[in-house]
Structure formats: structure tokens, C-alpha cells
């Protein structure tokens, strides 16, 4: 249908460590539980109120699954961008139809960004890999001839 859009953007915290599972086709899938909160002041009582919503996020993108598995833990602050999807299945025990609404991260139109600072997460492997791939003489050095190369 032309003119429609299915896009979800969330910023929230993980309520549990990510759940990583293998699918029958051998690829991995990650499931996250992300909390978003809204707070307001009650007009009648003047009391501060807060409401938390929990969102199920399912990641099929292999690269994102690997990042989530290595670096994202319970309590992490993340930004996710994906697509809303509702699954339907039949409960074997009761025979009733069940539904689950999830945010899917798959394909090129999805993203996950870790919002915590580098100091708050253990990225020692990532940092050491980046440092070792750079020439040692170019780390933290200024180029005095840089001004001469600017074309304007």
C-alpha cells in the first residue's frame, strides 16, 4: 500500500540480559525486553507518577545479534529502530489463539545504538582490536602540515 509506514523508535533500558537462540536454519536470533518510562505530576494530588511500558524486541540481523551478544547487558540504555509486527499462534494446552506484538530488527531499515558511555561498559576487546589495527605512529599525534593541505 502506497503511503504507509511501519517504523518504531525506542530509547529505553534492558530489563534482562539478551536472550540469544539458534533457529533451525542455523542463524541466531536475539530477544530483548526494553522498558520505556513516562512520568507526570498528578493534577489532583500533586504527586509524581510514573508508568513503565515493556517492549519485546526481536533481532534477526546477524551483525546486530553479534553486537548484542558481546556488549549489551541488563540495564543497558539503547536506541532501537525497527518495525512493528504481531505474531499469532495457537496455545497447545488451551487451543486458544495467542498474540504477541514485537519490534523486529531485520534488514537495512533497522538499527540498534548503545547509548551508555564507553566507561560504563566493558569494551576492552573492541578498544584493543581497534588500537592494534591502527599504525602505532598515527595514534594521538597531530599533523603539523595539515593546514597546508586544506584546499580553501
Grid coordinates belonging to 94: 488451551
Domain that holds residue 56: 8-124
Domain count for the chain = 1
Average pLDDT of every residue of the chain: 81
Return the pLDDT at 1: 63
Nearest to 55 by CA among 115, 122, 101: 101
Q: Sorting pLDDT into bands at 50, 70 and 90, what band is 17?
A: very high
Give the pLDDT confidence score for residue 21 in this predicted structure.
95
Asked whether residue 13 is domain-assigned, the answer is yes
Looking at the domain assignment, is residue 46 inside a domain?
A: yes
Cell numbers standing for residue 78: 539503547
pLDDT at 121 over 50: no
pLDDT band for position 109 (cuts 50, 70, 90): confident
Residue 135, pLDDT score: 38
Find the CATH number of the domain harbouring 91. Answer: 2.40.50.140
Positive or negative, the CA dihedral 18, 21, 27, 31 is negative
pLDDT at residue 87 greater than cutoff 80: yes
Amino acid at each position: 500500500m502506497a503511503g504507509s509506514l511501519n517504523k518504531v523508535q525506542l530509547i529505553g533500558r534492558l530489563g534482562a540480559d539478551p536472550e540469544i537462540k539458534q533457529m533451525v536454519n542455523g542463524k541466531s536470533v536475539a530477544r530483548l525486553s526494553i522498558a520505556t518510562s513516562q512520568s507526570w505530576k498528578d493534577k489532583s494530588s500533586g504527586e509524581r507518577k510514573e508508568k513503565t511500558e515493556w517492549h519485546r524486541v526481536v533481532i534477526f540481523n546477524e551483525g546486530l545479534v553479534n553486537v548484542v551478544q558481546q556488549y549489551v547487558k541488563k540495564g543497558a540504555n539503547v536506541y532501537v529502530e525497527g518495525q512493528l509486527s504481531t505474531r499469532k499462534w495457537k496455545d497447545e494446552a488451551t487451543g486458544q489463539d495467542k498474540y504477541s506484538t514485537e519490534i523486529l530488527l531485520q534488514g537495512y531499515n533497522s538499527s540498534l545504538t548503545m547509548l551508555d558511555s564507553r566507561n560504563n561498559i566493558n569494551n576492552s576487546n573492541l578498544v584493543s582490536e581497534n588500537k592494534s589495527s591502527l599504525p602505532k605512529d598515527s595514534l594521538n599525534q597531530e599533523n603539523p602540515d595539515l593546514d597546508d593541505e586544506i584546499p580553501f
